[in-house]
C-alpha cells in the first residue's frame, strides 16, 4: 500500500508519516500542492491524503486535477476548519471522504481502510484503453491488439492481461493474481497461473518485440518494456 501525503505543516506531516509507516504503509510526503500533484501524476498510489490549505496549489485544485486523470484513486481530504462549506467543496472536487483537524490517528486509519476497501470492491470502471508499447487492451470493447493485429484471448486470459496492464511497471505476485483474477484468496498449489502466463506469452509476446511480460523468480510478474 503506497500513500501520498500532501501536508505542509511539518509537525502534522511528521506525525502522520511516522504513524502510517508504523502501520506498514509506504508513505511519500509532499509539502506543497505543486509537488503533490507532480507526485500523484507520476506514481500510482493506493490512496491520497490531501490537506486542503496548501502552498503552491490548494488541496482542492490538486484533487480536481488528479481526478481528471484517475477516477479510481481514493482521496481523503484534511480540512482545518471543519466548516460545512469546506467539506462540500472537497467532495465536489472529487474527494471520497474528509477528516476535520484535529483528528485522532485511529480515525484516520479507519477512514483510510474503508476507502481502500471500497475501491477494491467497486466494479472495475469501463475505462479507456490500456497501452504498453504497441499492445492495446480495450476493456469496453474486449479487444486486444499487438502491433495493429487483433489478438484472440479467452475470457480468463483477457482478465489476466487486463490486471497485469493496469499494474504495469509493478511486480504482481501469484497471490495477487489468484485473488484478483481467479477470485481465490488462497494459493491452490496448482500451477494455473504459470500455465495462463504461458498462454498469454504465446499470443502477445512470442512473435513480437519488445517482450512485455517478464517473470521475476520468486516474486511474480511484471509488465514493462524490456530495454
Residues lying near Ca ion in the complex (CB under 5 A):
8, 51, 53
Do residues 173 and 219 touch, judged by C-beta distance below 8 A?
yes
Q: Shortest distance, CB of residue 114 to Ca ion, whole angstroms?
A: 23
Please state, in angstroms and rounded to a whole number, the distance separating the CA atoms of residues 29 and 26: 10
- Output the smallest distance, CB 78 to Ca ion, in A: 8
Q: Which residue is nearest to Ca ion (CB)?
A: 53
Nearest approach, Cβ of 77 to Ca ion (angstroms)?
11
Considering beta carbons, is residue 86 or 157 the nearer one to Ca ion? Answer: 86
Say which DSSP state 169 is in.
Answer: T
Q: Which of 51, 86 has the CB closer to Ca ion?
A: 51
For Ca ion, the closer CB: 98 or 158? 98
Quote the distance between the C-alpha of residue 2 and its chain's center: 8
Interatomic CA distance for residues 143 and 164, integer angstroms:
15
Q: Which is nearer to Ca ion, 38 or 143 (CB)?
A: 38
- Please count the CA atoms within 13 angstroms of the CA of 60 that sit on its side-chain side: 11
Least CB distance to Ca ion at residue 88 (A):
19
**Least distance between Ca ion and beta carbon 33 (Å):** 10
Provide the minimum distance between the beta carbon of 85 and Ca ion in the complex, in angstroms, as a whole number: 17
Is 53 or 116 the residue whose CB approaches Ca ion more closely?
A: 53
Tell me how far apart the alpha carbons of residues 182 and 88 are, in angstroms, rounded to a whole number.
39
**Which is closer to Ca ion, CB of 52 or CB of 65?**
52
- Residue for grid cell 484503453: 129
Q: Which helix (H) or strand (E) holds 162?
A: helix 155-166
Q: What cell does 175 get?
A: 497471490
Contact indicator for 127, 166 with CB cutoff of 8 Å: no
Residue 51 or 162: the one with the smaller Cβ distance to Ca ion is 51
139-161 in b/e form (b: 16+ CB < 10 A) is beeeebbbeeeebebeeebbbbb
User: Minimum CB separation from Ca ion for residue 19, in Å?
Assistant: 18
**Residue pair 216/171 in contact by the 8 Å Cβ criterion:** yes
Amino acid at each position: 500500500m503506497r500513500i501520498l501525503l500532501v501536508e505542509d505543516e511539518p509537525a502534522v506531516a511528521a506525525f502522520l508519516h511516522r504513524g502510517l509507516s508504523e502501520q506498514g504503509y509506504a508513505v511519500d510526503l509532499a509539502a506543497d500542492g505543486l509537488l503533490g500533484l507532480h507526485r500523484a501524476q507520476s506514481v500510482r498510489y493506493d490512496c491520497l491524503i490531501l490537506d486542503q490549505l496548501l502552498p503552491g496549489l490548494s488541496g482542492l485544485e490538486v484533487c480536481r486535477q488528479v481526478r481528471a486523470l484517475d477516477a479510481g484513486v481514493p482521496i481523503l481530504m484534511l480540512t482545518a476548519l471543519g466548516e460545512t462549506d469546506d467539506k462540500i467543496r472537497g467532495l465536489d472536487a472529487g474527494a471520497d471522504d474528509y477528516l476535520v483537524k484535529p483528528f485522532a490517528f485511529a480515525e484516520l486509519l479507519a477512514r483510510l481502510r474503508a476507502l481502500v476497501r471500497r475501491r477494491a470492491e467497486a466494479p472495475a470502471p469501463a475505462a479507456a484503453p490500456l497501452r504498453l508499447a504497441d499492445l492495446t487492451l480495450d476493456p469496453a470493447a474486449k479487444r486486444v491488439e499487438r502491433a495493429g493485429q487483433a489478438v484472440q484471448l479467452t475470457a480468463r486470459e483477457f482478465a489476466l492481461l487486463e490486471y497485469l496492464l493496469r499494474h504495469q511497471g509493478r511486480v504482481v505476485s501469484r497471490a495477487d493474481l489468484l485473488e484478483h483474477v481467479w477470485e481465490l484468496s488462497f494459493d491452490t498449489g496448482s500451477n494455473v497461473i504459470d500455465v495462463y502466463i504461458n498462454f498469454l506469452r504465446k499470443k502477445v509476446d512470442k512473435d513480437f518485440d519488445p517482450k512485455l511480460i517478464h517473470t521475476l523468480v520468486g516474486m511474480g510478474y511484471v509488465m514493462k518494456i524490456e530495454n
